[in-house]
Amino acid sequence: MDRENIVKSLGIKHIGIIMDGNGRWAKKRLLPRKMGHSQGAKAFRSCLNSCVELGVPCVTFYAFSTENWSRPKDEVDSLMKLFCSFMDEMMKLNSKNIRLRFIGSRDNQIGRAHV
């Protein structure tokens, strides 16, 4: 069976992915936590591309919980910068027939100046 038909034959309609462990990944390699978050962004790209290739109809990435706001300010700032720089790339996904939606609480969302 070819890769594209696996998703259909298994009846997969939605995959949920929790983006967790980037800080631990960096710590294990004696790198700053923000490097772990950058690696997480690369993993996100790779995973999303694979899901597109396989024809997964819906993928949800859980990437920033309300608990993340209590991290040190410089780490949250770094995550927000990474997120904002990533947005330009994500906005181009429409050409791949991908719709991007943000779900969850809108309280404490990225500062209005960044959007």
Given 5, 20, 49, 108, the catalytic residue = 20
Q: Judge whether 5 counts as a catalytic residue.
A: no
Which own/partner contact pairs does 56-59 have at CB distance under 8 Å and 24+ positions apart?
A: 56/7, 56/12, 56/14, 56/15, 57/12, 57/13, 57/14, 58/13, 58/14, 58/15, 59/14, 59/15, 59/16, 59/17
Q: How far apart are CA 44 and CA 9, in angstroms?
A: 25
Given 68, 74, 77, 94, the catalytic residue = 68
Side-chain half-sphere CA neighbours of 111 within 13 A: 7
Catalytic residue positions, numbered: 20, 68
